[in-house]
Amino acid sequence: MYKLLKTDGNARRGQLHTVHGVIETPVFMNVGTVAAIKGAVSTEDLETIGTQVQLSNTYHLHVRPGDKIVKKMGGLHKFMSWERPILTDSGGFQVFSLAGLRKIKEEGVYFQSHIDGHRIFMGPEESMQIQSNLASTIAMAFDECPPSKAEREYIQKSVERTTRWLARCQAEMKRLNSLEDTINPHQLLFGINQGGVLPDIRMDHAKRISDMNLDGYAVGGLAVGESHEEMYGVLDVTTPLLPVDKPRYLMGVGTPANILEAVDRGIDFFDCVYPSRNGRHGHVYTNHGKLNLFNAKYELDDRPIEEGCGCPACRRYSRSYIRHLLKAKEMLGMRLCVLHNLYFYNTMMTEIRQAIDEGRYKSYKKEKLDRMAAGE
Amino acid sequence: MYKLLKTDGNARRGQLHTVHGVIETPVFMNVGTVAAIKGAVSTEDLETIGTQVQLSNTYHLHVRPGDKIVKKMGGLHKFMSWERPILTDSGGFQVFSLAGLRKIKEEGVYFQSHIDGHRIFMGPEESMQIQSNLASTIAMAFDECPPSKAEREYIQKSVERTTRWLARCQAEMKRLNSLEDTINPHQLLFGINQGGVLPDIRMDHAKRISDMNLDGYAVGGLAVGESHEEMYGVLDVTTPLLPVDKPRYLMGVGTPANILEAVDRGIDFFDCVYPSRNGRHGHVYTNHGKLNLFNAKYELDDRPIEEGCGCPACRRYSRSYIRHLLKAKEMLGMRLCVLHNLYFYNTMMTEIRQAIDEGRYKSYKKEKLDRMAAGE
């Protein structure tokens, strides 16, 4: 159940109450693709850096270790030793981006495993069944994510099919939640708005899915090649049409600036691989911009990545040491950078919530963006 | 200063008092080659798993980041954020095993960097200077480590040179410790006994270096291809000749069984890459033998690696989950296995010390070896 606590302009401060605890929103979910955050980050680490929600990828877990294995082990929470909320994606995005030869039909998608090439079928029912086996807190609807630059006609047809798939997802999730051997009978389902960067299709679709009384609504198919302005434009026309009393999730977004702008347009949930992926490459976020720790100027820099930062990397280690680890290809270097970046994102979300609570979101956003743009 | 607290047969229970704290012996040192334990293990992790001493490799740190960089950053302790004792090796072993073309002369060794091929010279003085820059708690003498199957004549000549080098190491360390800008003016120096598997050369050398009043004595050049019996044979004839009031270190050894046997022959210090290297390959130590977590039989095994183990892996994660991480090549899988293995070794040393304290070392050793050999 979502509780809207306060608004500040279009920015929303809320809480999503789940069987795995309360999620304070706006929130940034930390992406653990195969039931682990890349960079040797443990669930114990995640507790230390204030992670509220972990996101796991349905497609990856379906092919390895297999969702039936995870179910036998008691579901994802028990499997990876994480008691707080977990969101699973539908598998759709990976099917469209990772898998080999695929064929989209009304019933679903036929494709090949990216691991061993074996033939797999996934439709709305299969996606719900897999996510039910994984027993996440929040399941995502199975949708098609068409290329943002596809023809209007293709996008129109794709969105219509996605809407039909959504109804099938909803019916199947209802059925699965009522089964006796289900691990999480309270699994939530979020629908996904699509429509490329075409405002009329986006708006029409947003209205139609808003009537379906889902547990939450995502805006999908963005951050796939369109400009930031196009992305913000889509949010400007869709979020006003989504139910006020349901959480809204902007999928796969993004940079700190993207998040600050999207919160200002009424978004509550985010996820992105940037902090972990950039961390593994030695790129770290600070309030004075992003640093590349491979840079020679950090060789003798005994300061932490960011002065005053409370993350496990900054509490103990210098830029000089972390740079040495990265250059020597020591995994610890990657781990420390990933921990710092996730902490940076999580902490920014705390600041965002506080700013909305105190009715000063616009000035907070401006100040944060200016500081990050100014550099060290 | 070494304090012998108790003996039980030839097994010794002692303490080495250093400027970085007291080392309770027998002790297993955890190997952090380039100033970090491989497997994304942080110094915070090491504190959690009860590590007393970290070992760092002089040769690796000399070529990257460079010992002068480490000195500018305040020495190894400050650089890697570790307050407890650190032992550095002399660089000799790496020069003989890793480096490219090399030439051994009376003054030292000419060789090529394994990273960029540039020509390096290292002799006793250079090794001491580098270790003084690193500012470890214990420095090791620069020696030649001849192949254990080399001709008697070669080993004889090599050992004589190693003895001359040891005198030069001792003089140079004394000079360096008295310099005004030295970071650790109390740096200790351990000499190294060599002689292949030839008892008379080993014994003669042990007697000669025992007269030199060093801070500790190592038995080197073992675990390089000879049989376990040959290794134990060398210990049987050398340790009785080493000073009772100085610590003894068996370099690069070994398996849990090797350590149990060597303690029984009067050894106090150990180091080995086995626990970290095996961990990175999913091989984990238990009191019921070693497990290969890649094995299919662990797919649905919800037990920890070892029941009752207090390590960060066993406290939270199942064999099934760790196996999944290893199969998916997630770094977290390697990290958890390395943490478990180092904890296993550290905990065995605690048991060893307790058994000696209580005068039951022989029976403890037998029971431990029997249990490990019996399997699950």
* CATH number for the domain harbouring residue A106: 3.20.20.105
Q: Say how far apart CA A265 and CA B224 lie, in whole Å.
A: 66
Same domain, B226 and B105: yes
Q: What percent of chain B has pLDDT over 70?
A: 99
CA angle A114-A120-A123, nearest 5°? 120
Kindly state the percentage of chain A with pLDDT values over 70: 99
B45 neighbourhood in chain A, CB within 8 Å: none
CA atoms within 13 A of residue A173's CA, in its CB half-sphere? 29
Q: Are B302 and A73 in contact (CB under 8 A)?
A: yes
If asked whether residues B252 and B314 sit together in one domain, one would say no
Whether A250 and A193 have beta carbons less than 8 Å apart is answered as: no
- When the pLDDT of each residue in chain A is averaged and rounded to a whole number, the result is 96
* Mean of pLDDT values over B137-159: 92
Of B72, B81, B324, the CB nearest to A300: B72
Residue of A49, A319, A323, A324 best to disrupt the B interface, most CBs of B under 10 A: A324
Measured between CB atoms, which of B41, B79, B327 is closest to A321?
B79
Show the tokens assigned to A153: 């006609």
Residues of chain B contacting residue A43, judged by C-beta atoms under 8 Å apart: 316
Name which of A321, A224, A328, A215 is nearest A272 in CA terms. Answer: A224
Mutating which of B78, B299, B324 best tests the A interface, going by the most A Cβ atoms within 10 A?
B324
In angstroms, the CA A184 to CA A166 distance is 20
Q: Within an 8 Å CB–CB cutoff, is residue B310 touching chain A? A: no
pLDDT score, position B246: 98
Whether residue B274 lies inside any domain: the answer is no
Q: What is the DSSP letter of B49?
A: T
- B122 with B209, same domain: the answer is yes
What letter would DSSP give residue B37? B
Q: Residue B218: helix, strand or coil by DSSP?
A: strand
Kindly list the catalytic residues of B: 89, 271
Whether B164 has its CB under 8 Å from any CB of chain A: the answer is no
Where residue B351 falls (left for φ over 0; alpha for ψ -120 to 50; beta otherwise) is alpha
- Which of B73, B316, B325 lies at the smallest CB-CB distance from A300? B73
List, as ranges, residues 110-139 from A with C-beta within 8 Å of B: none
- Alpha carbons B32 and B81: distance in angstroms, whole number: 13
B69 to A38: CB separation less than 8 angstroms, yes or no: no
Task: For A74, name the nearest residue in chain B, comparing CA atoms only.
Answer: B302
Domain enclosing residue A329, as ranges? 282-374
Q: Among A272, A293, A319, which residue terminates a domain?
A: A272
Question: Is pTM, for the whole model, over 0.90?
Answer: yes
> Mean of the pLDDT values across residues B120-134?
96
Task: Give the rounded distance of the alpha carbon of A221 from its chain centre.
Answer: 13
Q: Rounded mean pLDDT of B152-164?
A: 97
Provide the residue type at A362 as one letter.
Answer: K
> Per the CB < 8 Å rule, is A327 touching B64?
yes
CA distance A283 to A45: 20
Residues A19 and A135 in one domain: yes
| Pick from B39, B65, B325: CB nearest A331 | B39
- Cβ partners under 8 Å of residue B112, min gap 6: B99, B100, B101, B102, B118, B119, B120
pLDDT at residue B99, rounded to an integer: 65
Residue A100 has pLDDT above 70, yes or no: no
Give the torsion sign (CA, A319, A323, A326, A332): negative
Query: Is residue A211 flagged as an active site residue?
Result: no
Same domain, A108 and A61: yes
Q: HSE of B105 in the Cβ direction (CA atoms, 13 Å)?
A: 10
Same domain? B75 vs B210: yes
Instruction: Indicate yes or no: CB of A36 within 8 angstroms of CB of B332.
Output: yes
Q: Phi, psi (5° rounding) for residue B86?
A: -130, 135
pLDDT > 90 fraction of chain A, expressed in percent and rounded: 89
Q: Provide the pLDDT for residue B100.
A: 65
Q: Identify the top-confidence range among A330-344, B23-37, B136-150.
A: A330-344
Cβ separation of A302 and B73 shorter than 8 Å? yes
In this prediction, residues A187-199 reach a mean pLDDT of: 97
Q: Which amino acid is at A200?
A: D
The answer to whether the Cβ–Cβ distance between B331 and A331 falls below 8 Å is: yes
Given a cut of 70, whether residue A258 has pLDDT beyond it is yes
Q: What is the ipTM of this complex?
A: 0.96
Q: How many residues belong to chain B?
A: 376
With an 8 Å Cβ cutoff, are B69 and A300 in contact?
A: yes
The Cα–Cα gap between B186 and B184 comes to 5
Contact A138, A216 (CB under 8 A): yes
Of B81, B324, B335, the CB nearest to A65: B324
CA A284 to chain centre: 19
> Which residue in A238, A325, A338 sits closest to A285, CA to CA?
A338
Asked if residue A277 is part of any domain, the answer here is no
**What is the rounded average pLDDT for all residues in chain B?**
95
| Residue for token pair 């100033």 | B35
**Do A173 and A307 fall within a single domain?**
no
Q: Do B327 and A40 touch (CB under 8 A)?
A: no
pLDDT for res A285: 98
pLDDT grade for A99, boundaries at 50, 70 and 90: low
| A64-68, A151-155, A220-224, B289-293: least confidently modelled range | A220-224
**Amino acid B96: pLDDT:** 77
Cβ count near A44 (within 10 Å): 14
- Test A64 with B327 for CB contact under 8 angstroms: yes
Closest CA to A334 of B340, B39, B336: B39
Residues A301 and A266 occupy one common structural domain: no
Verify that A45 and A186 share a domain, yes or no. Answer: yes
Q: Is A37 on the interface with B (CB under 8 A)?
A: yes
- Give the pLDDT band (50/70/90) at residue A172: very high
Distance of residue B262 Cα from the nearest chain A Cα, in angstroms: 32
Helix (H) / strand (E) containing B18? strand B11-18
Q: Average pLDDT of B215-230?
A: 94
Please state the rounded mean pLDDT for residues B339-366: 98
pLDDT cut 90: percent of chain B above it? 89
Judge whether residue B12 has pLDDT over 70: yes
Number of domains composing chain B: 2
Read off the pLDDT of residues A201-243 as tens digits, 9 standing for 90 and up. 999 999 999 999 999 999 999 988 899 999 999 999 999 999 9
Residue among A261, A133, A149, A141 nearest A205 (CA): A141
Which candidate, A240, B24, B198, A234, places its Cα nearest to that of A251? A234
Q: How many CA atoms lie within 13 A of B31 on its CB side?
A: 23
Same domain, B14 and B131: yes
List pLDDT tens digits, range B195-221.
999 999 999 999 999 999 999 999 999
Clarify whether residues B192 and B294 are in a common domain: no
Residue A98 reports pLDDT greater than 80:
no
Q: What is the per-residue pLDDT across B61-114, written as a single tens digit (0 to 9) for each?
A: 999 999 999 999 999 999 999 999 999 999 988 887 776 678 999 999 998 888
Confirm or reject contact between A200 and chain B (CB < 8 A). no
Do A311 and A49 touch, CB atoms closer than 8 A?
yes
Question: CA dist A89 to A42, A61, A191, A249, B353, Å?
Answer: 21, 11, 11, 12, 52
Residues in B closer than 8 angstroms to A300, CB to CB, are: 69, 72-73
HEC string of chain A equals: CEEEEEEECCEEEEEEEECCEEEEECEEEEECCCCCECCCECHHHHHHCCCCCEEECHHHHHHCCCHHHHHHCCCHHHHHCCCCCEEECCCHHHHHHCCCCCEEECCEEEEECCCCCCEEEECHHHHHHHHHHHCCCEEECCCCCCCCCCCHHHHHHHHHHHHHHHHHHHHHHHHHHCCCCCCCCCCEEEEEECCCCCHHHHHHHHHHHHCCCCCEEEECCCCCCCCHHHHHHHHHHHHHHCCCCCCEEECCCCCHHHHHHHHCCCCCEEECCHHHHHHHCCEEEEECEEEECCCHHHCCCCCCCCCCCCCCCCCCCCHHHHHHHHHCCCHHHHHHHHHHHHHHHHHHHHHHHHHHHCCCHHHHHHHHHHHHHHCC
Bridge-based pairing of strands B27-31 and B54-56 is: parallel
Identify whether residues A206 and A326 lie together within a single domain.
no
CA torsion, ordered A175, A178, A184, A189, to nearest 10 deg:
40
CA distance B325 to B305: 14
Question: What would the mean pLDDT of B176-189 be, rounded to a whole number?
Answer: 98
Q: Does an H or E element contain B55, and which?
A: strand B54-56
A146 falls in which pLDDT band (50, 70, 90)?
A: confident
Residue B54 contacts A where some CB pair is shorter than 8 Å: no
Least confident of A14-18, B21-25, B103-107: B103-107
Residue B132 tokens, joined? 């003084």
Query: How many angstroms separate the CA atoms of B341 and B279, rounded?
Result: 6
- Among the candidates B238, B269, B300, a domain finishes at B269
B126 found inside a domain: yes
Q: How high is the pLDDT of residue A96?
A: 77
Q: Which of B328, B326, B331, B338 is nearest to B285 (CA)?
A: B338
Domain edge (last residue) among B210, B242, B269: B269
Tell me if A113 is assigned to some domain. yes
Closest among B174, B195, B182, B73 to B124, alpha carbons compared = B174
Given pLDDT bands bounded at 50, 70 and 90, which one contains residue B273? very high
The predicted pLDDT at position A287 comes to: 97
Is the pLDDT higher at A225 or at A346? Answer: A346
Which pLDDT score, from 0 to 100, does residue B331 have? 95
